[in-house]
Structure 1
Amino acid sequence: MPSSGKERTSALPSEQAPDLSITADDEVHLHRAGYNEPPERDLINSFARFRSSPLEFLREVSLHVSGTGWRSYDDIVGQPIFYSGFSEEMKSKVLSNAMLVSKVRELAAKRVEVEANEGLLGSEDAVGEKDRKVRRRVQIEESLMEVADTLTDDMICKMESKSFIRGAYYLTTQLLTRAYHQGVHVSSEEVLRLRAVAEKAARNKQSIIFLPCHRSHVDYVSLQVICYRLGLALPIVVAGDNLNLPVLGSFLQHAGAMWIRRSFSDDQLYATLVQAYIDTLLRNGFNLECFVEGGRSRTGKVLPPKFGILSYMLDSVASGRVDDAIICPVSTQYDKVIEVDSYISELLGQPKPKENLLGFLSASSVLSLKLGRVDVRFHEPWSLRGFINEQQSRFSQLPQQLDTKEERIRILRTLGFKVLSEINDVSVIMPTALVGTILLTLRGRGVGKSELIRRVEWLSDRVRAQGGRVAHFASLPTSVVVERALEVLGPGLVGLVPGLPEDTFYAVDRFQLSFYRNMTIHLFILHALVSAAMYTKVKQGGGPENQRISYADLHDQTHFLSQLFRGEFIFPTEGLTTNLAKTLTALERDAVIKITRDPSTAHVLTVELSDAERETGRENFDFYCFLIWPFIEAAWLGAVSLAMLTPPHAHSGDVFLALKAAQDRSQLFGKTLYHQGDLSYFEAVNKETLKNAYDRFEEEGMILVTKPREKGQQATIRLAGEWMPERDPATGGIRAEGPLWAFAEKISASRREGKNRRDGATVQRRVLGLADVVGAGLWEDAVLQGRDLEGGVLEAARAKAKGRSRRKTMSARL
């Protein structure tokens, strides 16, 4: 642990390449990474404002209109874009795609057969039947191609005008530099490497597929701006059509957005059209940008991959229709995310507002915000063809060969998790994330400024020790970096206690600060899970021998927790035994734990806190526990909320309840438990984390979930039979026994001890009684709306759950 005797400067480690800054004078500069003095050393120079400097403002506008220097966007690296006729040329290539033409003929032929069987083709005269079928098939094909033409026009990007993109760049950077006043930073090494890869890809007519993490709408804006400023061909951005708003939608489409539906359902024509467009783009070497997580992360951490559009890109190359494409994972980190206020409202159960540009601008006051800086990092690009070949070679060595479909699914899953892991590898931990993490991992109410600075330095060292990157700020003292972080976070998130001898800060809005804490958790997830498993003994107190845990118990609880959170975090893939051994070795090396080993075999026998860790007040151990405790609380809340699904005496166990209503009630249940003292962390009522818990319970067969058959119907839920709690015949209350309560208790063993939770009997009575009270509304709705399902659907749900319970669970990735 670093000494707090002398404040350090945030010195740049020798192994990190300098940042690249590009200024408006058309010069490229290399300089030490971080905040730059003077401020014009940012990637995007702040433009002159009309009120403060009207002549300079007019000069800049003139330079953009005339396309002077780099603004012309003429000599780009990549395939030609932004010319008149680009859209029609792309549409022609898509509509003539062999796969699309074949699908249209197939759909038309099937429709003709249906109409013939239903007697819709006229006379039953066999002589003319063949001609009538041919004429009808041609007619249907023409109609389908007209539909495809309209769908294509709505979907494809329309990069038609360089004058337009010059103006769009100027407008976008005006907004971006107003909001993120400390600029956009990239690594010179990464950008120069990317440019070299882009030059080679352009010669080979290969596409670069940028796969960024997704935390904000600013993600694709910042990447487009960087590519424009560095002279790289802008990527075509795969975007959901929920953003295709009046005026804004057309603007984005002409700037590079391609619109796709959020759901394709069973529309075979549309799905084939999307594949045809992806094939066309990749065959012609156009760059693409796609968010592997699907939607924006509302929690601050990387989300599990979504495989929709990624599967289309993989299929283009795996099928041989496209020779190769280059994958480039991208991390975009912010001092402060512009939409975080709306994220918190959503996570607390408020309906998601419709996308609206004016609402976005006014709600966030983007024109007057000072949100710090943006850091964009590019992982080393790699060949998609090479990745596919490598995976297929691995599968060929398996004792049991996979069929083509199963092989493709495994490759797709591996691709998704590989990209997310590499995004985490290059992510930069911002000062706001460091400060937010420290404030949420302290035992006290607040922290003095000197201690906050010391802990930020300590956490920076821990991040680097884990192989992570910290945003650097040249030779500025850590105190200045912390002050800038506090300024960006603002008094709405971090409060200052007035009138004390030392500035003392405290978390005002823990829920919102958790967004920034979650930006660091991926680096410490293994340490956190092992520490939480050890806490089952440490929480008992007493002497060291009382807090010692056997390796078998540690292994068991760590395995349980890693399985519980396998849909919540991205774990290393080496497996439980290997990763547990590595983590114990690392904690022992850091003097956090002491390990007793068998002298003859060197096998771990017991684990306990080290003497040094006890002397420092469990500072390191508690830090790791504080990181994971809110997620453990959320999992426990999800488990005990299932008690609400226990039928009252008047109902049978076969009644299904509305899934969304059940999840909403579980959030209300959690808020009540928090305010009554049975839940320590308000972040535990996070809607997204609770939803993940329910998904995990469904995977394990604990709950039966039926999906809606038709549009407008709701998904429904009930407890699986073997997980159904029993009621006390005398009192009618839910008994604290059985598999569900045992499951919740196993989670609870790693929860943070609280003053209201030491008396187990009282907790059982209070929590389960409250579950009955909160869940009563669900059962009243079931009576009013008649949610009992038909026997066929019920039996299908039972069979589905039975199959899940028999399925062997995935080995833990910890």
Structure 2
Amino acid sequence: MPAKEAAGDVPKLAPDLEIVGDQVRIQPTGFTGGLEGTDGITERRLMHQMGRFRENPFDFLREISLFVSGTGWRAYDDFIGQPIFYSGFSEKMKSSVASHSALVSKIEELAELQVKTEEKEGLLTLTSPASSSSNGGRNVDPRTRRKEEIAANLREVVDTMLDNMICKMESKSFIRGAYYVTTQALTRAYHQGIHVSSEEVLRLRSVAEEAAKKKQSIVFLPCHKSHVDYASLQVICYRLGIALPVVVAGDNLNIPLLGSFLQHAGAMWIRRKFGNDPLYHVLVQAYIDTLLSNGHNFECFVEGGRSRTGKLLPPKYGILRYILDSVGSGRVEDALICPVSTQYDKVIETESYISELLGQPKQKENLRDFISASSVLSLKLGRIDVRFHEPWSLREFITQQTTRIHRAPTEKNLMSNIGADERARILRTFGYRVLSQINDASVIMPTALVGTVLLTLRGRGVGKAELSRRVDWLCGRVKEKGGRVAHFYRAPTEQVVERALDVLGPKLVGRTVGLAEETFYVVDRFQLSFYRNMTIHLFIPEALVSVALYSRVKQGGGPSNQTISYDELLTQVSFLSQLFRGEFIFPPEGLTANLEKSLLGLERGNVIKVTRDESNVPQMIELSEQERKCGRENYDFYCFLLWPFIEACWLGTVSLTGLAPPLADPENVWVDMNKAQNNAQLLGKTLYHQGDLSYIEAVNKEILKNSYQRFEEEGIIITAKSKETREPPTMRLAPDWTPERDPETGKLLPHGKLWEFIRMIAQSRREGKNRRDGETISSRVLELSDTMGRSLFQNARPVKPAGAGGEVELSSQILRRRTIDTASKL
């Protein structure tokens, strides 16, 4: 965080961006925190408060007239990119998509399959006379005529699907009005506007100019935290004079009035689930091919849905696969990938997120809820920071990846000789590269700094001075890790903290006055964790080392009793890394390199002491003397970051013990997977209120779901899904992971593979009210889990899982199919 500076003592800075009318100018201004000693990253607030009729009728009417007349940049005439917002744009796109060779071939194929089916079932009479009048006077045999009829019907279906799907950017008058309405709403909710880096947007304009000359698309791949994400990037592109991207959006938002508005502003509607509809798959690919081959900018959210937890979610590969296929197949020459980070002081939807994560069903979107959001627009939610990673060539990326597998491709189809597994690996690398670059581009907001500090301190509350000191310390750690802190315009730390507390509000952070010092305390830990999770990606390696070392620190005693060998540390860090591989985005260097780098960083910060041999190889690790003297505050910070996630995994694993079939039931019994996860959440809430679980965040529905995904991949549980019905998936414990029962009492016995797995997690778990976690689990907690699990077996199905006699897929088949399906369409 910038320190207090005397007037005139201003360092030489890079220029800032000033947008005046339709011109882009540069001028000096402040900077955003980065690595010490480097040039600052300048920024500018793109969106200012707009005139309100009651406050200043003249300014309000003047703004309206400027937008209606399209004065200056508001006309949106000289934007960079391919032509959009002209009459006939939608029909042109529909015609191009409908004539796409793959779509034409798929219609022909489906028509042929239908004719063969009708022939097989005796529904088509080949000897019936042909009707020449209905075929332009041509004599056509019944089979051909029937095939043409089916193809015509399919084309009508495609036309309807296209009309519902494609964006309809037809009118500049409409988009000028949409921009005005959107900025009016945003400036009332986010009163400090949208901020961008000057260097990044100037670079983006330069890239856009080159792309326009080559008729190439810029594919924006933002993170997704809020519905506001859609609006913020469109506002930036409009304000900077860059062609608006076509935005992929789930059709759950295609509700009356709002859906039409968004579609004419650039939304492309797709189904939430494509199902087994081959025509729809090809139609989506054909539309994306058409957009990219014509150089239209494109946007989709790499995580799929919105993150309810504040951190990045694993990539969703659906639309990424289509983009990769467009370029990898050679149908599109190239596209430029631009990862985008959007960060908020406060996210409008966090309260609804918390309800969902605590087990409440997700509410279906409707217009009334969007209208009722107008009450939110009177709040002061701070600012939005949008950052753009440097765009890169998708064609070069594919060439680089395929060269690693074979020699450099010589054909136009870059992946013609690549197998299914390799294609899936390239797609996965693509997704995680984008996520990593989003993290690299992100800035840490003041609310995230304050929320992180409050959730990583011991005790009931903290004074203002101590809170400011720890925020300063955290800013230093962020910069050391190569992260960036949001622009504070050289405001003193105390002022920044006060501003963040005001934005978070009393429902999240309370104040106690009338004391010797004003004291702050956490009111809603669950909701505040959303803001803590915005910083966690920077410190995952250090946090893993710290909680692995905690397996010794928690034993107490003198320093010699709290020392761990390097091999033991490596074993525990490796175990936890595997446990969380779907939860966090890890640095790409690999486990050993990341561990050594983390040890050096923690050692340099005087958090730990590392004893090395003559060859400088680490041997023993312990807390440093300095860290002990300061009350372990820095070491605790890293542990507190990861402990809630360890608790959640521990809870998920303990809940599996309740899936051991009772003695009287057959062993091959399958239970409803959704009910099992709900059961785990209820178990967690019970243990939290009884004091056996330290963190309410551990009952987070999303984290528990991810834990069960890991259990499936590790073969701890076997899942089954019906191929013929829509019944939910079922599951059971793998035989070698099923706990044994006492043959006389029927009680679960605390040993076996699952018990050892629980013990490994518990080693790094924060010590709660029971100093002997193992004994606690083996008695009361194990019995509670077993009791709750019995309810699952009352309606469980023996032998035939997930369907009444229908064909099913087991875990190994499902995981293999996912890999093949992901790759086969590339």
Give the TM interval when normalised to the shorter protein: over 0.9
| Alpha-carbon offset, residue 652 of structure 1 | 1.5
Counterpart Cα distance in 2 of 1:185 and 1:465:
23
Out of 308, 330, 339, the position equivalent to 1:320 is 330
Q: 1:674 aligns with which of 669, 684, 688?
A: 688
Question: C-alpha deviations, 1:361-405, integer Å up to 9, x for none?
Answer: 42572221110000000000011111111111111269xx98433
Aligned-partner Cα distance in 1 for 2:418–2:580: 30
With over 3 angstroms needed to count, the CA separation of the structure-2 counterparts of 1:790 and 1:265, relative to structure 1, is closer
Q: Secondary structure at the match of 1:375?
A: strand
Note the 1:51-66 alignment, pairs <5 A. Answer: 51-66=54-69
Identity rate of aligned residues, in percent?
65
For residue 223 of structure 1, report the CA deviation from its aligned partner: 0.2
Q: Deviations over 1:469-498 (max 9, x none)?
A: 000211211111111000000000001012
**What amino acid is aligned across from residue 371 of structure 1 in structure 2?**
L
The aligned counterpart of 2:253 is 243
Query: Equivalent residue of 2:378, what SS?
Result: coil
Q: What amino acid is aligned across from residue 689 of structure 1 in structure 2?
A: I
Tell me whether 1:470 sits opposite 2:463 in the alignment: no
In 2: Cα distance, 1:758 partner to 1:15 partner: 58
Report deviation, 1:13: 11
1:114 is the counterpart of 2:112: no
Structure 1 range deviating more: 534-543 or 110-119: 110-119
The one of 709, 714, 721 aligned to 1:700: 714
Q: Which moved more, 1:11-20 or 1:717-726?
A: 11-20
1:154 positional shift: 0.8
Instruction: Verify the 8 A CA contact 2:670 2:799 in the aligned structure 1.
Output: no
- For the 8 Å contact 2:21–2:73, the answer to whether it is kept is no
Deviations 1:297-340 (A, max 9, x none): 00000011010011101100000001000000000000000100
Match of 2:356 in 1: 346
2 CA distance for matches of 1:184 and 1:350?
Answer: 32
Instruction: For structure 1, list consecutive stretches of 5 or more residues without a partner in the other structure.
Output: 805-814
Secondary structure (helix, strand or coil) at the match of 1:653 reads coil
* Higher alpha-carbon deviation: 170-179 or 408-417: 408-417
Partner of 1:359: 369
Partner residue of 2:651 out of 631, 637, 645: 637
The 1-side partners of 2:5 and 2:540 are apart by 28
Closer/same/farther in 2, CA of residues 798 and 464 from structure 1, 3 Å limit: closer
Report Cα offsets for 1:187-231 as digits up to 9, x if no partner.
000000000000000010000000000000111100000000010
Match of 2:38 in 1: none
Q: Structure 2: how far apart are the matches of 1:79 and 1:717?
A: 51
Aligned partner of 1:549 in structure 2 is 564
What is the CA–CA distance in structure 1 between the aligned matches of 2:92 and 2:815, rounded to whole Å? 53
Residue 579 of structure 1 is matched in structure 2 by 594
Residues 698-731 of structure 1 show CA distances to partners (whole Å, capped at 9, x for unaligned) of: 0011111112333431211111111111122343
C-alpha spacing 1:90/1:803, structure 2 compared with 1 (3 Å): closer
Pairwise mapping of residues 134-145 of structure 1 onto structure 2 (< 5 A)?
A: 134-145=144-155
- 1:755-770 mapped onto 2 (5 Å cutoff): 755-758=769-772, 760-770=774-784
Report whether the alignment pairs 1:224 with 2:234.
Answer: yes
Pairs within 5 Å for 1:693-772: 693-758=707-772, 760-772=774-786
2:340 corresponds to which of 304, 308, 330: 330
Matches of 1:788 and 1:223, distance apart in 2 = 46
Query: Structure 1 pair 205/26, CA: closer, same or farther in 2 (3 Å)?
Result: closer
Distance 1:127 1:219 in 2: 57
Residue 493 in structure 1 maps to residue 508 in structure 2: yes
- Partner of 2:440, secondary structure, is helix
Q: From the superposition, tell whether residues 262 and 346 of structure 1 become closer, same or farther in structure 2 (CA, over 3 Å).
A: same
Secondary structure of 1:327's match?
strand
- 2:82 partner SS: coil
Instruction: Report the counterpart of residue 625 of structure 1 in structure 2.
Output: 639
1:74-223 alignment, distance < 5 Å: 74-123=77-126, 131-223=141-233
Q: Does 1:233 align with 2:233?
A: no
Superimposed CA distance per residue, residues 126-146 of structure 1 (whole angstroms, 9 cap, x where no aligned partner): 999982211111111111111
2:768 counterpart letter in structure 1:
G
* One-letter amino acid of the structure 2 residue matched with residue 546 of structure 1: N
Task: Give TM-score, length-normalised by structure 2.
Answer: 0.92
Which piece of structure 1 moves more, 563-572 or 771-780?
771-780
Structure 2 partner of 1:657: 671
2:44 touches 2:195 (CA, 8 Å); kept in 1? no
The two structures have a TM-score, normalised by structure 1, of 0.93
CA shift in 2, pair 1:429/1:16, >3 Å: farther
Give the structure 1 partner of residue 622 of structure 2: 608
Alpha-carbon shift at residue 508 of structure 1 (Å): 0.5
Deviations 1:763-813 (A, max 9, x none): 421101110222232122338x99866898899638759999xxxxxxxxx
Candidates 566, 575, 579, aligned match of 1:560: 575
Change (3 A) 1:222 1:144: same
Matched residue type, 2:70: G
Match of 1:32 in 2: 30
**CA distance in 2: counterparts of 1:199 and 1:476, whole angstroms:** 37
Q: CA deviation at 1:15?
A: 9.9
For 1:458, the equivalent position in structure 2 comes to: 473
Structure 2: distance between partners of 1:148 and 1:290: 22
1:402–1:87 CA distance, 2 compared to 1 (3 A): closer
Structure 2 CA distance, aligned partners of 1:289 and 1:43?
20
Aligned to 1:809: none
Conserved in 2, the CA contact under 8 Å of 1:10 and 1:473?
no
Letter in 1 for 2:762: S
Q: Structure 1 residue 95: deviation in Å?
A: 0.6
Name the structure 2 match of 1:445.
460
Take 1:11 and 1:146, find their aligned partners in 2: how far apart are those partners? 70
Contact 2:723–2:809 (CA<8 Å) still a contact in 1? Answer: no
Q: Deviations over 1:496-526 (max 9, x none)?
A: 0121111110110000010000000000000
Q: Which amino acid aligns with 1:51?
A: R
Over 3 Å counting, the alpha-carbon distance change for 1:611 and 1:242 in structure 2 is: same
Gaps of 5+ in 2: 34-42, 132-138, 409-415, 818-826
CA change 1:422–1:170 in 2 (3 A) is: same
> For 1:607 and 1:793, how far apart are their aligned partners in 2?
56
1:707 aligned counterpart, secondary structure: strand
1:736 Cα deviation from its structure 2 partner: 1.3
Give the Cα–Cα distance (whole angstroms) in 2 for the partners of residues 790 and 86 of structure 1.
Answer: 47
* C-alpha distance in 1 between matches for 2:12 and 2:733: 54
Q: In 2 relative to 1, CA 434–406 (structure 1 residues): closer, same or farther, beyond 3 Å?
A: same
CA distance in 1, matches of 2:44, 2:15: 12
Q: What is the CA-CA distance between 1:603 and the residue it aligns to?
A: 1.7
Tell which deviates more after alignment, 722-731 or 475-484.
722-731
> CA 1:689–1:221 in structure 2 vs 1: closer, same or farther (change >3 Å)?
same
Give the drift of 1:585.
1.4
Report the equivalent of 2:136: none
Q: Aligned in 2, Cα 1:268/1:798: closer, same or farther, shift over 3 Å?
A: closer
Report SS of the residue matched to 1:170.
helix
Q: Name the residue aligned to 2:539.
A: 524
Structure 1 residues 794 and 776 mapped into 2: Cα distance closer, same or farther (>3 Å)?
A: farther
Residue 46 (structure 1) shift: 0.9
1:790/1:167 CA distance change after superposition, 3 Å: closer
What does residue 823 of structure 2 align with?
none
Query: Residue 311 of structure 1 aligns to which amino acid in structure 2?
Result: R
| 1:778 paired residue number | 792
Q: Any idea what SS the aligned residue of 1:656 has? A: strand
What do residues 527-553 of structure 1 show as CA deviations (whole Å, max 9, x unaligned)?
000111111111111111111101110
Output the CA distance in 1 between the equivalents of 2:398 and 2:22. Answer: 44
Distance (Å, rounded) in 1 between the aligned partners of 2:377 and 2:279: 43
> d(CA) in 1 for partners of 2:766 and 2:323?
45
Conserved? CA contact 1:701–1:802, under 8 Å: no
